[in-house]
Amino acid sequence: MELVAEADTPYRPPVFARFGRGNSLPDVQQACAAARRTSSHAYARSHFVPQLDGLGLELMELCLPHVEAGRLLGYVVATYSLSDLLSTHIGPQMGRSQEISFTEADGTRLAMHGLARRGTRVFTAQQLLDLPGTTMVLRMDSWRRSEPDLFPNVLTALVTVMSIALVTVLFMLGHDTRRRLRVEQDLADALAFRKAMEDSLVTGLRARDLQGRTTYVNPAFCQMVGFSLEELLGQGSPAPYWPPERADEYHKRQEVRLAGHNAPPREGFESVFMRKDGTRFPVLIIEAPLINAQGLQTGWMSAVLDISEQRRVEELSRASQERLQATARLATVGEMASLLSHELNQPLAAIASYATGSINLLQENAPPARDLQLAMARIAEQADRAGRVIKSVHDFVRRRDQAREAVPARALVDAVLPLVNLQARKLRVGVEIRVADDLPQVVCDRTMVEQVLLNLARNAMQAMDEARVPDPALVLQVRATPARDGGRRWLEFSVADVGPGIPEEVQRQLFTPFFTTKAEGMGLGLSLCRTVVEQHGGSLVYEPHLPQGTIFRFTLPARPEP
């Protein structure tokens, strides 16, 4: 690739006198290598060479292998000036109205020839030059001072306008045809859907004109009355499905309806129709005016419902309701009797205990008057308590709103404490009371809540006695819980024991009425307790009392602070 000889054009100063050929040598070598591989000529990429006049030339080399007898002797390299190619091969006349240029694929101009002017519109033509070894684009830009003539003459303009009008008419005709077909298809689908819907209805539909003749009935109406479509259409008064004994009444009603003196009720009216076999059945008829597309009334449209099954169900429901009311009254009597017998056991047992103690005191020679007075007061207190229990249970069974009052938590515990201590001394159970002094008052039915506390305490002591716990202990505790339900405060009452706990098979039905594990129990205690607590808006739950025993907790609403 060493230079053997060179020759430059005699018509201009030497091109490579200033910088030499070293800058283009890599591109030339690459082009010659490609020419050797293909045994043909190859072009190198164009490059810019600055000149002494401050301008420059865009040059491109052509490499041709020199081969003799199949032996490569060297290369002949020809250098072209792209701008000179354009100026020598394109006449001056074309350069006045066009601009011709060599550009790269991305639009970069390499060389151009012609006058660069711009008119109102520019027309561009491009041709890709795929040379061996490189690629260029030959671009021609032409311009006009004014818009090109759209129509050379009147005849051309007239033909063009008529063609456009014909195409527009054809397009509009095609569009209208497609829209008409689409509307017809939608109409057919709507009619088919309405027909399928009318045929699938279980409600009878009937249309009559202003003369009272039947103009339309659906299959449900034909099936309802037992007549065919041909037997009903066109029939006037009297209709085949009118009972003979009511034909005059129906005829007068139809005359009034057709005269338009009064509109039918929107909720419908009841009537009686006759089937083809002569059987009568009640129907509900809902009528409305039949209005056409012009807004004129052409008749009446009726929806007919067979209500014979509804009347039969209503009759059965009425009879069942009477039987349920009788059963409910019996159940209420039984429930009240069961609750009374369950709740009165405690005050009656206390009265019996105090009476026995009083008899024992009277058997002494000089009984203490103070002890007798205390025993009589306790008997009177328990008797009054028994009366209040009867009233509370009576109100509870009748679901009346119990009279609720604000009661201190300590007062509720103190009210049941004598009965708790009485059974605790009998069963040798230690009782511990934990009630803070700063607790708010609780809003409740005092008698029923006391029964809940007493039932839970008695159940706990009996469970520890049956299990023969060595050191039985009972803890009654009242504490305030954090505010909930929009800031409302609650008090939590808990009864804890150290008994054997509740077996798993008993837990599933612990609150079931009449379920009990005691030989003499009735199974109403815990069920009544949960019902009373829930009526106050609280909840009754239980959980293991670690390390041994069970703890029952229930909540009651506290009195709002002023």
Tell me if 412 sits within 8 A of 450, measured CB to CB.
yes
- pLDDT (0 to 100) of residue 265: 67
According to DSSP, the residues that pair with 540 across neighbouring strands are: 554
Query: What are the structure tokens assigned to 58, written together?
Result: 């865009």
Pairing mode, strands 430-435 and 473-484: parallel
The span from the CA of 50 to the CA of 71, in Å, is: 37
Amino acid at 495: V
Sign of CA dihedral 508, 510, 515, 517: positive
Query: What are the structure tokens assigned to 1, written together?
Result: 């690739």
CA 324 and chain centroid, separation: 40
Q: CB neighbours of 199 closer than 8 A, spacing ≥ 6?
A: 218, 219
- pLDDT (0 to 100) of residue 76: 92
- pLDDT (0 to 100) of residue 48: 86
Query: What are the structure tokens assigned to 546, written together?
Result: 């670690």
Q: Where are the alpha helices (DSSP H) in 116-212?
A: 154-200
- pLDDT (0 to 100) of residue 49: 84
Amino acid at 267: E
Query: What are the structure tokens assigned to 291, written together?
Result: 């209005």
Tell me if 560 sits within 8 A of 491, measured CB to CB.
no
Helix H or strand E segment including 241: none
CA 562 and chain centroid, separation: 43
Write out residues in the chain with pLDDT < 70, as ranges: 95, 116-121, 144-153, 260-266, 325-349, 361, 364-369, 372, 384-385, 387-403, 483-487, 513-515, 517-524, 562
The span from the CA of 272 to the CA of 148, in Å, is: 88
CATH match of 403-562 with 3.20.20.70: no
If one looks up domain 198-304 in CATH, what number appears? 3.30.450.20
How many distinct helices (H) and strands (E) make up the chain? Answer: 14, 20
- The pTM assigned to this predicted structure is 0.36
- pLDDT (0 to 100) of residue 437: 83
Tell me if 493 sits within 8 A of 453, measured CB to CB.
yes
CA distances in angstroms from 542 to 3, 348, 501, 507, listed in the order given: 110, 29, 10, 10
Closest by Cα among 100, 59, 57 to 80: 59
The span from the CA of 57 to the CA of 366, in Å, is: 150
For the chain, what are the domain ranges?
25-144, 198-304, 307-400, 403-562
- pLDDT (0 to 100) of residue 400: 47
